[in-house]
Amino acid sequence: MDPGAILERFLDRPRVAYVRAVLDTYGDAAGGLLANGLAFAALFATIPVALVTLGLAGWLAADPRIQAALAATLIEALPPLADLINGAVDALQTGASVASIVGIVGLVWTVSQLYVALDVAFARIYSATPARDPFRRTARGFVWVGLLMAAAIAAIVVASMATIVDAVAPDGIPAASAIRAALTSVPVLAAMAIGTVAVIYRVLPPDPPAWRSVRLPAVVAGLGIVGLSQVFLLVAPRLVGVAALVGTLATAFVALAWLSFTFQVLLYGAAWVRVRDERRLVDAASALSGPAATAESRGGGQ
């Protein structure tokens, strides 16, 4: 038996060919390099996002407990970034107003540039479709900054209400802790991740795919991202402990590794969405051309 022929038959199986199409789409776009670049962009965006969220909490609520609750929620949702978030808290304590202003400027720049980098990455995944022009990319990036600010304000409102309820509630009913525990539970985080990934897969491609092409990859990628965060939650303290002499630099490397794996999962899912949508279009075209071809052949027979 010829091993080459056996391998070729195996690679030509429909399911194997399907997986190969996803891997080829990811590889042709240099997905690993794109994920590493996105990880750097996201790491630089972490501090401004934390500064703005916690700074707005200090401005709107003027209650240190609300800042503490928000910081704890951010750390529980993004465990590999715990030291960076704590650094943002320290910056606010030493100069809240200046840090918040700097954070807002940094947020506008870094989040808009992170969106531009994501847009470029998806344009490479969807290489057969013309990419957006730089003006539209930048404008859409500012829209995402506005959405992020709205989400931060919503989180502050929720934290404020939880703190107020906790203050007036009878003893033994820690409302703020219960709400924070619910918001940072694995099922809620998984649902939020799946919803966010689904919106990204629908909005970022130059030619938006159908929702039926997005659903399954969004579920798998969302669960994978939450699973990675839980793994790093267990592994990161040990890695940082081993590299204790390096200190914050070790934390940054751990965060970069987590972000890189996260974006790789996201981009693999994007490649999967492209393959699913292309096959959906092929199947739809075959279904439309099938009856016409049948009618033509019948007419010729008569």
Would you give the DSSP letter of residue 29?
Answer: T
Give long-range contacts, CB 8 A cutoff, 24+ apart: 92-99.
Answer: 92/51, 92/54, 92/55, 92/58, 92/67, 96/55, 96/58, 99/51, 99/55
Q: Is the model more confident about 296 or about 233?
A: 233
- Residue pair 232/81 in contact (Cβ under 8 Å)? The answer is no
Query: How many beta carbons lie within 10 A of that of residue 105, not counting itself?
Result: 12
Tokens of 47: 């501090």
**Can you tell me the distance from the alpha carbon of 94 to that of 51, in angstroms, rounded to the nearest whole number?**
12
For tokens 């703005």, name the residue. Answer: 52
Would you give the DSSP letter of residue 81?
Answer: G
Q: Write the pLDDT tens digit of every residue in 259-281.
A: 899 999 999 999 999 999 988 88
Average pLDDT over residues 112-117: 83
Query: How many beta carbons lie within 10 A of that of residue 54, not counting itself?
Result: 27
Query: How many beta carbons lie within 10 A of that of residue 288, not counting itself?
Result: 9
DSSP secondary structure of 187-244: HHHHHHHHHHHHHHHHHSSSSPPPHHHHHHHHHHHHHHHHHHHHHHHHHHHHHHHHTT
Q: What is the pLDDT of residue 273?
A: 94
Confidence label for 294 from pLDDT (cuts 50, 70 and 90): very low
C-alpha R_g of the chain: 24
Q: What is the pLDDT of residue 270?
A: 94
- Inform me whether the pLDDT recorded for 100 exceeds 60: no
- Residue pair 122/113 in contact (Cβ under 8 Å)? The answer is no
- Inform me whether the pLDDT recorded for 57 exceeds 90: no
- Residue pair 147/112 in contact (Cβ under 8 Å)? The answer is no
Q: What is the pLDDT of residue 192?
A: 86
Q: Write the pLDDT tens digit of every residue in 141-156.
A: 767 666 766 665 666 5
Q: What is the pLDDT of residue 41?
A: 85
- Residue pair 78/177 in contact (Cβ under 8 Å)? The answer is no
CA 298 to chain centre: 53
Nearest Cα to 43, choosing from 85, 102, 74, 76?
85
pTM of the model as a whole: 0.73
